[in-house]
Structure 1
Amino acid sequence: MAVQVEIWTDINCPFCYLGKRRFEEALEAFPHRDDVTVVHRSFELDPTLPRDHSDAVVPYIAEKYGISEAQAAANERGIGAQAEAMGLSYVTEGRDFGSSFDMHRLLHFALEQGRQEQLLDALYAANFGEQRALFGDTERLVEVAVSAGFDEQAVRAVLDDPDAYADAVRADEAEAARLGARGVPFFVLDRKYGVSGAQPPEVFAQALEQAWADHAPKLEIVADAEVCGPDGCAVPQRD
């Protein structure tokens, strides 16, 4: 018996980065953690971006939300403080953003290899923990994948074929829309319970407990008679 947790995320999303760590904290403390299967699903925050697109994060945030660049920079510092409190590296200046489509294709490739988690962690670390540009740079993406232990030739073969795993990415995104996901991170447990956002670990813990309780087989009592229990034994009644 296993509980399946599907997590829709995007590499551009800082709250996906934080949410993954908070979920992992809850999962680590979950008594049945070895019976939980985690699968990461694809979600692009901006699927309209060209694959070679790369731009600075702070001006993008300022324009998107109609705030000043000073406010956007302050928001980044606030997220960075949250990340630091969880032991995560977070560079608040000099990061870029762009199309994550090829990254999602590689994550489906990694899923087939049984090593999706390793690649996702490497991509998050490269994006949020380093000032070097990550998006729109095939060589940089190859470098990150190879550093995570993947074969360079196999990685290049995926990236050189624009159709490789493209249908899998689109299927994940279509499923997210069907399930009502309006943003990420979006966690779905056994296709029964949804958790939206980078919630505190205790919220994830509660969701795991609820999914496990529903997943466990329920015993139906079909016959009943006198029993002995903690308070003693049933006393036979005389006629």
Structure 2
Amino acid sequence: MIVEIWSDIACPWCYIGKARFEKGLAGFAHREQVEVIHRSFELDPQRAKGDTASVVDMLASKYGRTLEQARAMEEHVASNARSEGLVYRTEGRDHGSTFDIHRLLHLAKERGLQNELLSRAYEVNFADERSVYDPEVQVAVAVAAGLDEAEVRAVLADGSRYADEVRADEREASELGANGVPFFVFDRRYGVSGGQPVELFTQALEQAWQGREADAATAAAPACEPDGACAVPNG
């Protein structure tokens, strides 16, 4: 069974959703027969490389909130992350273009290291004091994930490498009706949108495994939308 996950490392609900999905997968009886493929989705595709801004400033501008209100939004999302055992820094994080990171993730996919690189990129973006948008940090994270440094630097130096693969993923997301991330597709039969509870991921895995003859059903939960906007649930 194949599970495809569209996500962006700038998306906190993707960070949370990945943790929840993996907990659901860990309890799935047929987990050894599940292949997980991570696909590209940029929250802010128009942002130029090197153009970064404070996450708090971005949220305040996007939602028309004060900086204090934007910080409260971050704390709310952080509480969800921490409930899953994840580290989440609410101050000092950057928001920027993730295109190069997505290109590196396609390199990592070819080398069988995609999940490792994605996990490390999330950790740096949400838990580390380093900026994941710094090219040298990207190199360090990719090497720590097991990729060859020279190959990583070659990809970063050539903006065309894996660019088509990133765009193809994004077109496919649009064709599937995904207008936010994370977006999980189970055997091209069931779609799950957002950082759902662990139990829902378990249910989706079971239903997809059973191969039920039904139209694709989509469940919605908090997700991140293009331009970096991330929904914050009430309560």
* TM-score computed with the length of structure 2 as normaliser: 0.88
Identity of aligned residues (%): 56
Which residue is equivalent to 1:110?
Answer: 108
Q: Which amino acid aligns with 2:19?
A: R
Residues 10-29 of structure 1 mapped to structure 2, 5 A cutoff: 10-29=8-27
Residues matched between the structures, number: 213
Which residue is equivalent to 1:207?
Answer: 204
Q: Which moved more, 1:148-157 or 1:164-173?
A: 148-157
Q: Which runs of 4+ in 1 moved over 4 A?
A: none
Which residue is equivalent to 2:86?
Answer: 88
Which residue is equivalent to 2:34?
Answer: 36
Which residue is equivalent to 1:98?
Answer: 96
* Contact kept in structure 1, 2:51 and 2:97, CA below 8 Å: yes
Deviation of 1:79 (Å): 1.4
Distance 1:130 1:91 in 2: 8
* Contact kept in structure 1, 2:113 and 2:146, CA below 8 Å: no
Structure 2: runs of 5 or more not aligned: 214-235
Look up the SS of the partner of 1:144 in the other structure: helix
Look up the SS of the partner of 1:159 in the other structure: helix
**How big is each residue's C-alpha offset from its partner over 1:16-49, in whole Å with a ceiling of 9 and x where there is no partner?**
0000000000000000001111000000001000
Q: Does 1:169 find its partner at 2:169?
A: no
Deviation of 1:69 (Å): 1.2
* TM-score computed with the length of structure 1 as normaliser: 0.87
Distance 1:128 1:79 in 2: 11
**How big is each residue's C-alpha offset from its partner over 1:41-100, in whole Å with a ceiling of 9 and x where there is no partner?**
000001000011211100101111111111110111111122112111110100001000
Which residue is equivalent to 1:187?
Answer: 184
Which residue is equivalent to 2:58?
Answer: 60
Distance 1:147 1:33 in 2: 26
**How big is each residue's C-alpha offset from its partner over 1:164-210, in whole Å with a ceiling of 9 and x where there is no partner?**
00000000000000000010000001111100000000011111110
Distance 2:129 2:67 in 1: 18
Deviation of 1:215 (Å): 7.2
Which residue is equivalent to 2:233?
Answer: none
| Structure whose CA Rg is larger | 1
Distance 1:117 1:133 in 2: 20
Deviation of 1:149 (Å): 2.0
Structure 1: runs of 5 or more not aligned: 217-239
* Contact kept in structure 2, 1:9 and 1:40, CA below 8 Å: yes
Distance 1:90 1:178 in 2: 32
* Contact kept in structure 2, 1:93 and 1:131, CA below 8 Å: no
Which residue is equivalent to 1:139?
Answer: 136
Deviation of 1:133 (Å): 2.0
